[in-house]
Amino acid sequence: MIPFALRRLLLAAPVFAGVSLAVFLMIHLIPGDPARLYAGLEASQEDVEGVRRALGLHEPLPVQYGRFLGRFVTGDLGRSLKTGRPVAEEIAARYSSTVLLASLAIASAVVLGSATGVVAAVWRRSAVDQAALLASLLGLSLPSFFLGLVLMLVFSVQLGRLPLAGNATWRHAVLPAVTLALPAAAVISRMVRGSLVEVLEQDYIRTARSKGLTEWVVVNSHAVRNALIPVVTVVGLQLGYLLGGAVVTETVFSWPGIGRLIVQSIAARDFPVVQAAVLLLAVTFVTINLVTDMLYAVLDPRIRPG
Amino acid sequence: MSRGWRELRRGRLALPGAAVVCAFAVAALLAPWLAPADPTRSDLANVLARPGAAHLLGTDELGRDMLSRIIHGARLSMLEGLFAVGLALALGLPLGLAAGYAGGTVDAVLMRVVDVLLAFPGVLLAVAVVSILGPGLWNAMVAVAIYSVPVFARLARGSTLAVKQEVYIEGCRALGMSNLRIVGRHVLPNIAAPLLVMAALRVAVAILTASSLSFLGLGAQPPTPEWGAMLSNGRNYVLIAPHLVIFPGLAILLLVLGLNLLQEGLREALDPRITDR
């Protein structure tokens, strides 16, 4: 197990390096002089030169990249161009409210997706299976911004049961979490169904049935446990997509998360905030995938040597 | 032909999906003739009209006919889907082909680049690209294309690796054919089928992603009748005129659902294992 973990970690190292390099280069890929981007469009030439000196933008790119990495690791992400406050401060609270939302969403998606997936697999080719297929295709086709607005219209405006927007109470989290959860549940449901259908055809399931065990016991204690192992990978990926997809959902519900911060900062041309937020989300995603792979190895001993 | 038709019938979802997609394609092609009014002409005496006889889907805050805007929007969505996927294929295919055929260091380096692209979850990669290029319809389409490049690069690489093992490729080498000729004449035609299927599948994702960018204000800008942009604009009036939000949303939903039904139906029709189970 330990050698596997080390090997996997070693494989992730170039990805971390590449991600940080890509985000570092963002500011240099934007057409125009980076120093002017930081100083602002109406700054004088002296101000621009001052900013260039202060931020070390006159130095060779490799030196700048080294500095950028060093600062990121120590948590110094520069200052917001808009508010002048340290970016780390701007981001911290936003990041945790996005993580909260994504965790709520992934938990609901796993419950809903597994339940419908298991039901569809056990009664496969029945009307229930067809309905589950249609529901998941619908979930995959719904633009999240539309789903969010419709939920808002129904539950906040028409029924008046849930708050419109913001994050003051737990009730504010319900609609954005559902909006994020439904497409993820659709993917998980299809995955669980496919995996369980395959497991139910295995010899040991036939053995369990021929021992006279009830179908309930066969499915619950023999099949589902094994069928859920490959699903772990999908759940990890979906959690990452939820973090990225939060960009849209947070905008719909004015949820003060990191995704909405990114969109607002692009509009305000506040590049240090965009850079730091994008890098933080990417690093989170790569870390989630790393943890998922290791979890998979713990659950399924067959893949460890490979 | 008749066999192909039977297979299509077997996947029951393909036909309704194809019907929906065809309807939108016709709307996109014939928009200027089908639309009852000019999609950009405002009528300030008649703003935020409810759906009715004069305007089937109502009017927006400037009195523009919603039905005409939705019909013209079909053009933009089709353009977004086809252009983004075409560009993604044009970028990803050579990447994957080179990695798979050359192997070794080239493969390792190119695939690490793809891994880095994949490290930005979901729409985040597209959002990051737009933050570099600046908002706008074309930039958003380029961003959506870059978001899809890893999918095509990985598939092209995998298919190339499989084809490279074949005896006929070895035969070409033995005949002294140049690598460029082998790739162009023998590898490319043999990996084309899975790539084209994937391209068809990605159109739905591309349309969803591009309209999300427009919704965020990063893609098509008003007054362009792009569905995501229309929906974003309609949010300001959602309490007094929900039809400004409902109809563009339904349009995206229907088109993407149609594409997904078609895809699922084709999968059922072409993969007998699925229906046998």
pTM of the predicted model as reported, rounded to 2 decimal places: 0.89
Residue B275: pLDDT over 70: no
Name the band, by pLDDT with cuts 50, 70 and 90, for residue B273.
low
Average pLDDT of B57-62?
Answer: 84
Between B112, B120, B128, which is nearest A14 by CB?
B112
Indicate the burial class of B176 (C-beta count within 10 angstroms; 0-12, 13-18, 19 or more).
exposed
8 Å CB contact between A247 and B123: yes
- A118, A129, A173, A227, A302 from A198: Cα distances, Å: 12, 15, 37, 8, 17
Per-residue pLDDT tens digits for B131-189: 889 899 999 999 999 999 999 999 999 999 988 888 888 888 888 888 888 888 888 88
Interface probe with A: pick from B124, B253, B271, most Cβ of A within 10 Å:
B124
Residue B276: pLDDT over 70: no
Q: List the pLDDT tens digit at each of the 306 positions of chain A.
A: 677 788 888 888 888 889 999 999 888 888 877 888 788 777 888 888 888 888 778 888 888 898 888 888 888 888 888 888 888 888 988 999 999 999 999 999 999 999 999 999 989 888 888 889 889 989 889 998 999 999 988 888 778 777 777 766 777 888 999 999 999 999 999 999 998 988 888 888 888 888 888 888 888 888 888 888 888 888 988 898 888 888 899 998 888 999 999 998 988 888 889 989 999 999 999 999 888 888 888 887 776 554
pLDDT of residue B231: 92
Q: How many CB atoms lie within 10 A of CB B167?
A: 7
- Which of chain A's residues have a Cβ under 8 Å away from the Cβ of B261? 137
Residue B190: pLDDT over 80: yes
pLDDT of residue B5: 57
Distance in angstroms (rounded) separating the CA atoms of residues A255 and A237: 22
- Which of chain A's residues have a Cβ under 8 Å away from the Cβ of B242? 153
Q: Tell whether A205 lies on the interface with B, counting CB pairs under 8 A.
A: no
pLDDT of residue B179: 86
Cα radius of gyration rounded to whole Å, chain A: 24
Per-residue pLDDT tens digits for B8-32: 556 677 888 899 999 999 999 998 8
- Domains located in chain B, CATH noted: 2-33+66-270 (1.10.3720.10)
- Kind and range of the H or E run holding A255: none
Put simply, the chain B residues between 197 and 256 with a CB less than 8 A from any chain A CB are 204, 208, 211-212, 215-218, 228, 231-232, 235, 238-239, 242, 245-246, 249-250, 252-253, 256
Per-residue pLDDT tens digits for A163-221: 777 766 777 888 999 999 999 999 999 999 998 988 888 888 888 888 888 888 888 88
Per-residue pLDDT tens digits for A274-293: 989 999 999 999 999 888 88
**What percent of chain B is predicted at pLDDT more than 90?**
45
Distance in angstroms (rounded) separating the CA atoms of residues B136 and A179: 26
Nearest residue of B to residue A134 by CA position?
B261
A18 contacts B119? CB cut-off 8 A = yes
Mean pLDDT of chain B: 87
ipTM over 0.90: no
- Domains located in chain A, CATH noted: 2-74 (no CATH), 96-256 (1.10.3720.10)
- A36, A53, A81, A271, B277 from A44: Cα distances, Å: 9, 14, 16, 19, 71
pLDDT of residue B277: 38
Per-residue pLDDT tens digits for B223-232: 889 999 999 9
pLDDT of residue B129: 92
For residues B7 and B133, the model is more confident at B133
- A241, A243, B130, B157 from A12: Cα distances, Å: 18, 19, 26, 20
pLDDT of residue B57: 84
**DSSP-based helix, strand, coil % in chain B, nearest 5:** 75, 0, 25
